């Protein structure tokens, strides 16, 4: 899709590195809090305190993708990174991508799978 394969690969590697570093940082932070004076209940309380804020951040990112998709595609086409036919194809994929992001948020972010399994097992009323 992009003309420059080296830049594409470099961008992918950088994004992967950032994701891995963030995951390691969060894991280290949770392990450090667990091994110090905090208990599992206090960690759960702090996660619950951040839950609404993080949910709002995720929905904001989904909205930015929905409303900024065409702007980004037009910018890529103007700079010559993609052809006009590819830009048209990407514009058609906007709502498909937003739908998948919303489904992932509902299933993973809101815990619908866990709630569904709890209901089917009879643990949640």
pLDDT of 76 > 70? The answer is yes
- pLDDT classification of 87: cutoffs 50, 70, 90: very high
Mean pLDDT of the chain: 86
Task: Report the Cα 61 to chain-centroid distance in Å.
Answer: 8
pLDDT of 125 > 60? The answer is no
Query: 4 and 81 in contact (C-beta within 8 Å)?
Result: yes
Which secondary-structure segment (H or E) carries 49?
Answer: helix 40-78
The pLDDT tens digits of the residues spanning 48-64 come to 888 889 899 999 999 99
The pLDDT tens digits of the residues spanning 16-45 come to 999 999 999 988 988 887 777 667 777 778
Query: 81 and 5 in contact (C-beta within 8 Å)?
Result: no
* 80 three-state secondary structure: coil
Position 100 scores a pLDDT of: 95
- pLDDT classification of 3: cutoffs 50, 70, 90: low
Position 78 scores a pLDDT of: 92
Q: Which residue has the tokens 């759960």?
A: 44
């Amino acid at each position: 899709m992009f003309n420059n394969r080296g830049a594409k690969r470099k961008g992918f590697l950088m994004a992967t590195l950032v994701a891995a570093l963030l995951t390691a940082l969060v894991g280290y932070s949770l392990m450090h809090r667990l091994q110090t004076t905090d208990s599992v209940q206090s960690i759960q309380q702090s996660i619950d305190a951040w839950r609404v804020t993080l949910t709002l951040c995720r929905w904001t990112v989904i909205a930015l993708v929905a409303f900024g998709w065409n702007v980004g595609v037009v910018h890529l086409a103007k700079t010559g990174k993609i052809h006009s036919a590819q830009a048209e194809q990407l514009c058609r994929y906007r709502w498909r991508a937003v739908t998948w992001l919303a489904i992932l948020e509902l299933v993973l972010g809101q815990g619908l799978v866990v709630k569904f399994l709890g209901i089917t097992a009879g643990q949640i009323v």
